[in-house]
């Protein structure tokens, strides 16, 4: 599948923008807007953390009607653990942009990312709103992608084209994420736009499946965040026959969505805070997928395995200990561990359990002194 330029604005009917509102001291873009010219079918996946940021409370409520037309994001402040004031700010943000865009406030989704526990500088978002809307363009996808970054070192964008029922449709996406990365989900935001015509039921099925093998299969530090979401908007402007069930057209879309989500997930890991190595952990021969994934996560989240990778030291004993910590019915005669060369930037670790036929893959990074430095001074 060929990757294209254009990000979230490649699909018909989508525009975007990003700019600096004054939230970040660095002067880098800190607000971002994605807009569909017509209401779109919407689906979302959210963090399972019980401490949930105000914008997630608002967005999860709004998306229940399976429809949205705009997504507004600020970076530099998570608007989390901010009480009634934070919740009010999230709602008011939606109201402001709904008026400027001339759409229902119900169709504006909101998200935030950044430091937890500090009041959202709402006036800065309010004062920049008109300029953000006025600057919406097909050419500003990358500016929008920059507006959602925190400790990221690079933007994360991708787009592809698919042919469905004789019609060409486009799928574009952007994401952020660098630290506090663990399944269910991570300190990450991902937005996917498409002009495909698909109903809400099938869009939800596709997104959940794609996230399971991508955003929910990465870990950097095993720390779950409070603000994470993945949102997909499908506005139907490709004019293909509406996808309402499993079949050839749905399979084509699912394959493309899987590709997009996995690409973004890998980019998040490669941009992990302090990361110097990209590690693919595969567990084979498990009784079922859940067991394989649990074992792969145990290996990927082991600080001893991660520091061994940083030091280019293929210490297989650390992998064996990580698997053994799960108390699986595996002995040293059964367990087989293989490595790719540890001195390279991309490393693979494989553990064979010989308990069945299932397998799972997790993507992670090494643990370096820079990770400690970044997070020790984060706020």
Which residues are known to be catalytic? 187
CB neighbour list of residue 74: distance below 8 Å, 6 or more residues apart: 21, 23, 30, 31, 32, 93, 112, 113, 114, 120, 125, 147
Whole-angstrom distance, CA of residue 374 vs CA of residue 379: 10
Q: Backbone dihedral region of 277: left (phi > 0), alpha (psi from -120 to 50 degrees) or beta?
A: beta
Whole-angstrom distance, CA of residue 325 vs CA of residue 21: 48
CB neighbour list of residue 51: distance below 8 Å, 6 or more residues apart: 80, 81, 226
- Coil, strand, or helix at residue 351? strand
Contact of 18 with 140, CB cutoff 8 Å: yes
Q: Phi and psi of 181, rounded to 5°?
A: -110, 120
Pairing of the two strands 346-352 and 278-286? parallel
């Amino acid at each position: 599948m060929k990757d294209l330029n254009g990000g979230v604005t490649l699909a018909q009917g989508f525009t975007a923008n990003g700019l600096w509102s004054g939230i970040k001291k660095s002067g880098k873009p800190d607000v971002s807007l994605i807009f569909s010219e017509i209401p779109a079918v919407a689906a979302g996946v959210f963090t399972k953390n019980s401490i949930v940021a105000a914008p997630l409370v608002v967005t999860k409520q709004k998306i229940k009607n399976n429809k949205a037309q705009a997504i507004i994001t600020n970076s530099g402040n998570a608007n989390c653990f901010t009480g009634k004031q934070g919740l009010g700010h999230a709602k008011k943000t939606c109201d402001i942009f709904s008026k400027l865009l001339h759409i229902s406030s119900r169709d504006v989704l909101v998200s935030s990312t950044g430091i937890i526990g500090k009041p959202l500088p709402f006036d800065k978002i309010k004062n920049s709103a008109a300029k953000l809307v006025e600057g919406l363009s097909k050419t500003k996808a990358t500016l929008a992608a920059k507006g959602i970054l925190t400790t990221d070192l690079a933007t994360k964008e991708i787009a592809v084209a698919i042919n469905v029922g004789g019609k060409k449709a486009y799928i574009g996406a952007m994401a952020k994420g660098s630290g506090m990365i663990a399944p269910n989900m991570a300190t990450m935001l991902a937005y996917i736009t498409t002009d495909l015509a698909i109903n809400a039921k099938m869009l939800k099925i596709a997104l959940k499946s794609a996230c399971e093998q991508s955003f929910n299969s990465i870990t950097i530090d095993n720390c779950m965040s409070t603000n994470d979401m993945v949102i997909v908007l499908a506005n139907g402007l490709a004019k293909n026959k509406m996808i309402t069930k499993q079949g050839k057209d749905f399979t084509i879309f699912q394959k493309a969505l899987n590709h997009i989500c996995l690409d973004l997930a890998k980019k998040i890991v490669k941009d992990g805070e302090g990361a110097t190595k990209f590690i693919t952990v595969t567990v084979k021969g498990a009784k079922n997928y859940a067991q394989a994934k649990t074992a792969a996560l145990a290996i990927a989240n082991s600080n001893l395995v991660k520091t061994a990778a940083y030091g280019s030291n293929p210490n297989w004993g650390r992998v064996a200990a990580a698997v053994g910590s799960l108390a699986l019915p595996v002995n040293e005669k059964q367990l087989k561990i293989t490595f790719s060369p540890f001195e390279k930037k991309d490393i693979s670790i494989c553990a064979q359990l010989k308990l069945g036929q299932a397998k799972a893959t997790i993507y992670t990074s090494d643990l370096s002194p820079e990770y400690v430095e970044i997070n020790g001074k984060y706020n």
